[in-house]
Amino acid sequence: MSDIIYTKVDEAPELASASFLPIIQKFAAAAGVSVGTKDISLAGRILAAFPEHLSADQQQSDDLAELGRLVKTPDANVIKLPNISASVPQLVGAIKELQSQGFAVPDYPEAPESDAEKKIRAKYDGLKGSAVNPVLREGNSDRRAAKAVKSFAQKNPHRMGEWTAQSKTQVSSMSGGDFFSNEVSTTLEKDTTAKIVLETSAGETVLKEAVTYPAGTVVDATFMSAAALQTFLADEIEKTKADGTLFSLHMKATMMKVSDPIIFGHAVKAFLAPVFEKHGPAMADLGVNPNSGLGDLLARVEGNAEIMADIEACMAARPPMYMVDSDKGITNLHVSSDVIIDASMPALIRAGGKGWGPDGKESDTNCVIPDNSYAPVYDETIKFFKENGKLNPATAGTVQNVGLMAQKAEEYGSHPTTFEIPAAGTVKMILDDGTVLHEHKVEAGDIWRSASARKAPIEDWVNLAVDRQKAEGCRAIFWLDADRTHDAELIAYVKPILEAKGVADKFEIMAPREATRASLETITKGNNTIAITGNVLRDYLTDLFPILELATSAKMLSIVKLMNGGGLFETGAGGSAPKHVQQLNEENHLRWDSLGEFCALGESLTFLADTKNNEKARILGQAVDVATQGILDNGRSPSRKVGEPDNRDSHYWFARYWAEAMAAQSEDSDLAAHFAPVAEALVANEAAILSELAAVQGPAVDLGGYYRTDAAKTAAVMRPSTTLNSIIG
């Protein structure tokens, strides 16, 4: 096994790797550090799941499973780039592409009937949504802006949209019948297993045969009423039209891969309610599934003039919709994975509450977030900026995050225990001794789910929070609502640990709404705070605050201290990656910023030095920090516009600054001597290298695929400077 594993992923981060990874491997080798790769891309995971359908030379090892075993060991040192958390349309798209490339993987069974189809569907369902992160995250999250990154953002503040008290932008959520209002939670006193059953007038159906829980696990259960959801959506559509704002739905269909696509489908049906009422059977015959989105629906009915005419009439009568791409007519409801709440809401807030409408203009927006669990965070943020005006990045402090996520903690681990209820009845969680742990009366179509968080990750999370607060010395808030049953169970863990450590006076506990305002007040004054949160809020906040503070969440330092001693270093968010790929394909310009990779690399090398007693790795890591600072100080990050420096240029500059730092250091003369000629060559050939990189921009390029690009074509596109290649090797 290599000393460091650099993950092979998807889209823009993976394209950037084609340019950056050879540099890393070249430099690391000088310190005796080997850097290998493991394929956790969507295409790679599909191929690994179906070896029996492939020829021997096409078969691929299950790298995700291998990494899942590695992160449970002290030897783990993994740099994890953002990967696709696939929705069904993305999964189907990847399958079709692989088939076109000669891989005989099976089709995705939309409605499996035979046992063989059900087996195939189960394998594919295991690849949807957050299939990667729960496997690799065997530790809790320490996520913050690196000091150099924060300093640069303050010295070079990004543009913020103007907020006014007159803004009509708002957040709308269900007042009852949602996951938040129906939640029950308890902490188990002993090791046990539970089965989940649905009792109806027709008998008992086992939804889940057995789920194992160790003692001390916090186990929740809740459901969303389909009837309440439908009423809410219908009301919001009418309210949006009356207010003259844009209608937008903000979900996490990629991570919450069972519940949120169903909720998304309800929204599609609600928006086109007259069409479904009139043409429901006919559209079903055409294979329409509202969960797949408006884009798929339109593709299936485009040959039916009557249905298309009724859709156009319905859309004209509805409020205008928030657009993903107004030029191409791609709406908020086209694909469930196009509007991801943790990226879409911060972007809209940063823009002063404005979203793009179908007319290509910005407008105030009704942000519909059905479940009320975390919607108050965005609601309070919007209210705060309406009252106080936009945040000033030049003077704002920072919100760091310590997030509970280890061992599939909380909602992101709920996929195997989330169900769309087929018939009215009672869902029960029954322990192995016959005790009914939780139960809910439900109706057909309701969405029921259970989530859990184990004792060891919870305790590790609290201890990590204590360590981070001690290191930073700033305000620290546990974002926990004492009136929410799950959070109350966590508070019962938190308070005794803080008291036993004698640090209870250094922490506050607030519900998310109150914590949001307190944090915004703190950073507005130029001070720092630590948000200590559960899993979903970890994801939401580590986009919200970085996008407000830094303009992007891709530049965050993200360290996962694995519970068994290893390290996982994440490189930021990939929500904007598809648009970056589109621009590269059309103009051969990649604006992806690898700053997150730079930060993760430095931390990984330092961690390796500490765990393996490799001082050369430490020097290399220190030089990475110097190079990262050089990128920021000299404005070497990628531009958004074709014809200007892009991702490949930034990699040249990073390699140069890195080599110069290694040549200049005096701690290891052998390393200095090794890198001196490299640095000299990179400096001497600056004009030639930059000319070669600039010359390729403009024309469209062919990568040989989207989900699985051709390696040779990608290398040719991403490493176009023969001069740089000859120096790096």
Worst-scoring range by mean pLDDT, 156-165, 409-418, 522-531?
409-418
Worst-scoring range by mean pLDDT, 402-416, 466-480, 606-620?
402-416
Mean pLDDT of 625-638: 93
- Over residues 669-692, the pLDDT tens digits come to 999 999 999 999 999 999 999 999
Burial of 296 (0-12, 13-18, 19+ CB in 10 A): buried
Q: How far is it, in rounded angstroms, from Cα 524 to Cα 397?
A: 7
Q: What is the pTM of this model?
A: 0.88
Q: Which residue has the tokens 């961690």?
A: 607
Beta strands 330-331 and 323-325 are antiparallel
Q: How far is it, in rounded angstroms, from Cα 3 to Cα 18?
A: 20
Residue type, 630: G
pLDDT of residue 462: 98
Beta strands 35-39 and 508-510 are unpaired
Q: Is residue 596 pLDDT above 70, yes or no?
A: yes
Q: What percent of the chain has pLDDT over 90?
A: 90
Burial of 404 (0-12, 13-18, 19+ CB in 10 A): buried
Burial of 201 (0-12, 13-18, 19+ CB in 10 A): exposed
Q: How confident is the model at residue 281 (pLDDT cuts 50, 70, 90)?
A: very high
CA neighbor of 406 nearest in space, from 448, 462, 450, 482 = 462
Dihedral through CA 131, CA 137, CA 142, CA 146, nearest 10? -60
Q: Which domains does the chain carry?
A: 4-159+457-728 (3.40.718.10)
Q: Is residue 545 pLDDT above 70, yes or no?
A: yes
Beta strands 35-39 and 4-8 are parallel
Q: How far is it, in rounded angstroms, from Cα 535 to Cα 514?
A: 18
pLDDT of residue 575: 57
Q: How confident is the model at residue 553 (pLDDT cuts 50, 70, 90)?
A: confident
Mean pLDDT of 23-28: 98
- Ranges of H-type helices in 292-340: 294-301, 305-317
- Helix (H) or strand (E) holding 139, with range, is strand 139-145
Mean pLDDT of 335-339: 89
What are the CB-based long-range contacts (under 8 Å, 24+) for 378-382? Answer: 378/171, 378/250, 378/345, 378/349, 378/544, 379/170, 379/171, 379/173, 379/513, 380/512, 380/513, 380/516, 380/517, 380/520, 381/349, 381/516, 381/520, 381/544, 382/167, 382/169, 382/170, 382/171, 382/349, 382/353
pLDDT of residue 111: 87
* Cα-based angle 273, 274, 276 (whole degrees, multiple of 5): 65
- Give me 385's structure tokens: 């900026």
Q: How many residues does the chain have?
A: 729
Mean pLDDT of 292-300: 95
Neighbouring C-beta atoms of residue 231, cutoff 10 Å: 14
Mean pLDDT of 145-154: 89
pLDDT of residue 555: 78
Q: Which residue has the tokens 């023969």?
A: 722
Residue type, 634: N
pLDDT of residue 499: 98
Q: What does each C-alpha distance from 526 to 187, 401, 542 come to in angstroms?
A: 39, 17, 18
Q: How confident is the model at residue 506 (pLDDT cuts 50, 70, 90)?
A: very high
What is the torsional sign of CA 190, 193, 197, 203?
negative
Residues 6+ apart with CB under 8 A from 359: 320, 326
Q: Please give the residue that has the higher pLDDT: either 388 or 338.
A: 388
Mean pLDDT of 564-588: 85
- When the pLDDT of each residue in the chain is averaged and rounded to a whole number, the result is 95
Q: Which residue has the tokens 């916090």?
A: 218
Q: State the helix-helix crossing angle for 669-684 and 647-664, rounded to 10 degrees.
A: 140
Q: What does each C-alpha distance from 701 to 99, 588, 697, 715 come to in angstroms?
A: 22, 6, 9, 12
Q: Please give the residue that has the higher pLDDT: either 16 or 554.
A: 16
Q: How confident is the model at residue 129 (pLDDT cuts 50, 70, 90)?
A: confident
Q: How far is it, in rounded angstroms, from Cα 182 to Cα 277?
A: 30
Beta strands 354-356 and 362-368 are antiparallel
Q: Is residue 228 pLDDT above 60, yes or no?
A: yes
Side-chain-side CA neighbours of 168 within 13 Å: the count stands at 15
pLDDT of residue 552: 85
Q: How confident is the model at residue 576 (pLDDT cuts 50, 70, 90)?
A: low
- Give me 688's structure tokens: 């030639």
Q: How far is it, in rounded angstroms, from Cα 622 to Cα 606?
A: 8
CA neighbor of 391 nearest in space, from 517, 156, 548 = 548
- Ranges of H-type helices in 525-566: 535-550
CA neighbor of 272 nearest in space, from 311, 327, 303 = 311
Mean pLDDT of 369-384: 98
Q: Is 690 in contact with 696 (CB distance < 8 Å)?
A: no
Q: How far is it, in rounded angstroms, from Cα 111 to Cα 416?
A: 19
pLDDT of residue 577: 67
Q: Which residue has the tokens 């891969």?
A: 257
- Give me 480's structure tokens: 């926990």
Q: Is residue 130 pLDDT above 80, yes or no?
A: no
- Give me 657's structure tokens: 């600054």
Q: How confident is the model at residue 469 (pLDDT cuts 50, 70, 90)?
A: very high
Side-chain-side CA neighbours of 372 within 13 Å: the count stands at 17
Q: Is residue 172 pLDDT above 60, yes or no?
A: yes
Burial of 2 (0-12, 13-18, 19+ CB in 10 A): middle
pLDDT of residue 578: 78
What is the torsional sign of CA 699, 703, 705, 707?
negative
CA neighbor of 282 nearest in space, from 309, 246, 306 = 306
- Give me 387's structure tokens: 């009252």
